Amino acid sequence: MTALASPPAASAAIERPSLVGLSREGIGAELAAIGVEPRQIRMRTAQLWSWIYQRGVTDFAAMTNISKDLRAKLADHLIVSRPEIVTEQISEDGTRKWLFRFPPRGAGRPVEVETVYIPEVGRGTLCLSSQVGCTLTCSFCHTGTQRMVRNLTAEEIVGQILMARERLGDFPDATTPVGAAVPAEGRLVSNIVMMGMGEPLYNFEHVRDALLIASDGDGIALSKRRITLSTSGVVPMIARAGAEIGVMLAISLHAVRDDLRDVLVPLNKKHKIAELLDACRAYPGLSNARRITFEYVMLKGVNDSPADARELVRLLKGIPAKINLIPFNPWPGTDYACSDWETIETFAEIVNRAGYASPIRTPRGRDILAACGQLKSESERMRARERLALEAMVADAAE
């Protein structure tokens, strides 16, 4: 495992609004506010969009097809923001995990979230956070033990993509760090999953705006089939996600009986499995080529019996589905353990025989605690220790 120190933050620019995360109309409004002529706004917006999202440029001075005067004006009033990197950890298997810090908003405090990059042979997947902490308390999830601070804005969600691409050298003319594990060809960030900290459908508007930017053909241009939104089952928002975002859907299912799911994913007390699966059946555009992914974490002696596997097959009948079996990645303080490998294989065999592609997702980045929420709490623990040390020093000095 390698941990790199963070580069300095661009804190001086915090007060100026950022263009990142704004719609084209939003950028147009910012341009109008600094006096750009109405007939120029469309063209200037398109130029900025391309510099920010295709080229990854943060400095207005480098935007050479924009007049010098306007570049100076843009720099006086606006920024192209990036999060600060608090830590960057690189696992032996090439998985990268960043703790990003975003500046305070108004009277708020800076917030930190995790973003994970998982390189594989033919693709590079970026796992994004949607909230700081989470209001849900899924009992197997480390983020569920952390208090909810706030929703991330579209700027902050898109900022995770831009910063990850910058660090990986995924913009034109950029250099990939020596030795970095990345796909041998194609885009380095080829897929996005909203599976980091938080429940994306509890932050619907910001997640929608961010994913529409990520899939915009003139910018980051990731196909909607390469973007997956994962929900623990916010049933009333699933249809809206289909209609307004149209990306692939994943469901954190993890149990096949309501009594068990009530414990593992307490949101189930509100929206039972049958209701959740009905919403899945109605998700627009489903076909064999556009399946819903059902995430199923393998917990020893809890949800991993052959009977559970058979019930899973029965429940998903008629839904174009994939099942992702996820060996549990234990975190300090959890009561759960990962199922034995043999048990996982038996489970996988049953769902495979029923025709579901069910890859067993090999745990990635175990040496950097890649289960969501772990890096953040490490950092919180560190800060708490620092605070105690500081308080002790102050107390000593007062004596």
Choices 66-74, 131-139, 204-212, 356-364 (CB under 6 A): range interacting with ligand SF4 = 131-139
- Smallest gap from Cβ 246 to ligand SF4, in A, equals 22
- Smallest gap from Cβ 138 to ligand SF4, in A, equals 3
State the DSSP code for 334. Answer: -
373's CB contacts (< 8 A; 6+ apart) are 114, 141, 142, 143, 144, 145, 146, 197, 331
Bridge partners for 126 per DSSP:
117, 192
Question: According to the binding rule CB under 6 A, does residue 111 interact with ligand SF4?
Answer: no
Question: According to the binding rule CB under 6 A, does residue 143 interact with ligand SF4?
Answer: yes
Catalytic-role residue among 84, 88, 112, 114: 114
Question: According to the binding rule CB under 6 A, does residue 199 interact with ligand SF4?
Answer: yes
**CB 164 within 8 Å of CB 187:** no
Instruction: Compute the distance between CA of residue 340 and CA of residue 328 in angstroms, rounded to an integer.
Output: 10
Instruction: Decide if 372 is catalytic.
Output: yes
Question: According to the binding rule CB under 6 A, does residue 252 interact with ligand SF4?
Answer: yes
**CB 56 within 8 Å of CB 162:** yes
> For residues 89 and 143, which CB has a smaller minimum distance to ligand SF4 in the complex?
143
Question: According to the binding rule CB under 6 A, does residue 138 interact with ligand SF4?
Answer: yes
Identify which of 87, 130, 102 has the alpha carbon closest to the alpha carbon of residue 232: 130
Question: According to the binding rule CB under 6 A, does residue 200 interact with ligand SF4?
Answer: no
- Smallest gap from Cβ 230 to ligand SF4, in A, equals 8
Lateral strand order in the sheet of 111-119? 2-4, 84-90, 96-102, 111-119, 124-127, 191-194, 227-231, 248-252, 292-298, 321-327
**Structure tokens given for 126:** 């970026």
- Smallest gap from Cβ 301 to ligand SF4, in A, equals 20
Choices 53-61, 138-146, 150-158, 213-221 (CB under 6 A): range interacting with ligand SF4 = 138-146
Which residues are near ligand SF4 by CB under 6 A?
134, 136-138, 141, 143-144, 197-199, 232, 252
Catalytic residues: 114, 372
